[in-house]
């Protein structure tokens, strides 16, 4: 098969370090099947499936199921993220070693969904991870500072009567874990950075030699708490949408490498969990099929990144952080390639109902966006072409 690619950009297949596929537990909103299709259509050849499933992915049985199911579907490599802790209150360290040695070969462990508030537990997790050469991806929120929080702490939240989520809740826990990671000589990955102050903390930690990496979501690059004006729960997300000056700083931090990569935090939710009053709505939004376009809009159109830079933040860095040797890099002659072809000049209009996810909670409904993924190849095989799964 010949793919006509004149005028298009060829990139290493995208790698998403932060995807919520709802299998097991909430297959009414996403499955490994539907989520893999969304990923392939979005240009991804590997995703890391977050551990906050039901039951939680805190043991080898569940992570092996996720990995095997992803391979059966065959559209994208689904790397399960293991939970750092076990137990309803997350009071005990999970068997990281067992999951790392399982068929799924878990490379990233996260507290997404259940924050590690106890510093001694986090220290133990980081020390354990050093011995295993895996990454602890921390979800960057101090739960004792976010009780009841519904929106970014500021004028808008106050005016609407929502309990605020202060920037300090993120910045203080990131600072704590950067110091603990340096102490343990561990690799720490900070999920969904949302504030300007977190960029300051990251730069400070990196300057001191901390092995810390960080991601920013497409929605935190583009959207701000101005979105609260409409009361639409589609905009409710953890961490919350921040101010325009935060978003601006996140874009420059990504361009400068203070923030290493883009991750979607793709979070499918059922209509009944979103189409309700703001305080009752679940946080999170879809991201896999819109990520490239939001990066094109916020980073390429603005001149902050060229397409070489897009390859760095969407493919190379996430593959390095996630320990994927076969992703995010140039291919030797004859080697099966993981590739994404993008038409940089084409535009498309987002329709939630047309996305491959079972859920439809996109904050970009009706928006016209630049950058169309025209083909995705996983190990030399076309998985998506012109908006259709192959």
- Per CB under 6 A, does 47 bind ligand NCD? no
**What residues numbered 11-40 form the site for ligand NCD, per CB under 6 A?**
20
Angle at CA 319, nearest 5°, toward 316 and 325?
110
Six-digit token pair at 229?
């004006």
- Per CB under 6 A, does 357 bind ligand NCD? no
- Per CB under 6 A, does 359 bind ligand NCD? no
- From the CB of 357, what's the least distance to ligand NCD, in Å? 13
- Per CB under 6 A, does 284 bind ligand NCD? yes
Number of residues that bind ligand NCD (CB under 6 A): 11
- From the CB of 50, what's the least distance to Zn ion, in Å? 5
The alpha-helical segments, DSSP class H, found in the chain are 32-41, 60-73, 96-101, 119-132, 155-160, 167-184, 196-207, 218-222, 244-256, 271-274, 291-295, 307-311, 317-321
Choose which of 16, 64, 112, 260 interacts with Zn ion (CB under 5 A): 112
What whole-number distance in Å separates Cα of residue 75 and Cα of residue 19? 15
Site of tokens 């969990």: 273
265 is an active site residue: yes
Choose which of 63, 94, 237, 377 interacts with ligand NCD (CB under 6 A): 237
* Of 372, 321, 318, 380, the residue nearest 348 (C-alpha): 372
- Per CB under 5 A, does 215 bind Zn ion? no
* Chain residue whose CB lies nearest Zn ion: 115
Q: Which is nearer to Zn ion, 16 or 112 (CB)?
A: 112
Which part of the chain contacts Zn ion (CB under 5 A), choosing from 37-45, 69-77, 132-140, 297-305? 132-140
What whole-number distance in Å separates Cα of residue 376 and Cα of residue 383? 6
- Per CB under 6 A, does 219 bind ligand NCD? no
Q: Which is nearer to ligand NCD, 56 or 100 (CB)?
A: 56
Q: Please, are residues 288 and 39 in contact by the beta-carbon 8 Å criterion?
A: yes
Q: What is the set of active-site residues?
A: 265
């Amino acid at each position: 098969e010949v793919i006509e690619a004149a005028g298009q950009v060829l990139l290493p297949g995208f790698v998403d370090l932060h995807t919520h596929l709802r299998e097991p537990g909430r297959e009414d909103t996403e499955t490994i099947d539907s989520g893999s299709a969304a990923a392939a259509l979005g240009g991804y050849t590997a995703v890391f499936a977050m551990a906050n499933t039901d039951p939680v992915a805190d043991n080898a049985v569940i992570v092996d199921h996720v990995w095997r199911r992803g391979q059966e579907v065959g559209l994208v490599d689904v790397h399960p993220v293991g939970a750092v802790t076990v137990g309803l209150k997350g009071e005990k360290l999970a068997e990281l070693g067992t999951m790392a040695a399982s068929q799924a070969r878990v490379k990233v462990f996260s507290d997404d969904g259940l924050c590690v508030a106890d510093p001694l537990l986090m220290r133990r997790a980081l020390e354990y991870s050093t011995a295993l050469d895996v990454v602890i991806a921390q979800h960057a929120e101090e739960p004792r500072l976010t009780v009841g929080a519904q929106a970014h702490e500021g004028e808008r939240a106050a005016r609407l009567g929502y309990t605020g989520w202060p920037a300090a809740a993120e910045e203080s826990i990131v600072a704590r874990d950067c110091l603990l990671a340096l102490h343990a000589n561990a690799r720490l990955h900070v999920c969904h950075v949302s504030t300007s102050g977190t960029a300051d903390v990251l730069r400070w930690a990196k300057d001191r030699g901390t092995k810390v990496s960080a991601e920013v979501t497409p929605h935190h690059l583009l959207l701000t708490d101005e979105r609260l004006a409409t009361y639409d729960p589609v905009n409710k997300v953890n961490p919350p949408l921040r101010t325009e000056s935060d978003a601006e700083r996140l874009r420059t931090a990504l361009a400068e490498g203070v923030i290493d990569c883009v991750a979607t935090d793709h979070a499918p939710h059922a209509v009944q969990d979103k189409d309700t009053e703001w305080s009752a709505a679940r946080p999170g939004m879809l991201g896999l099929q819109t990520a490239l376009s939001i990066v094109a809009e916020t980073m390429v159109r603005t001149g902050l990144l060229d397409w070489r830079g897009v390859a760095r933040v969407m493919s190379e860095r996430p593959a390095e952080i996630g320990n994927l040797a076969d992703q995010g890099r140039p291919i030797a002659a004859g080697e099966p390639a993981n590739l994404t072809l993008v038409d940089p000049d084409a535009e498309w209009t987002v329709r939630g109902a047309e996305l491959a996810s079972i859920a439809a909670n996109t904050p970009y409904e009706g928006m016209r966006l630049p950058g169309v993924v025209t083909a995705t190849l996983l190990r030399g095989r076309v998985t998506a072409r012109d908006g259709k799964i192959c």
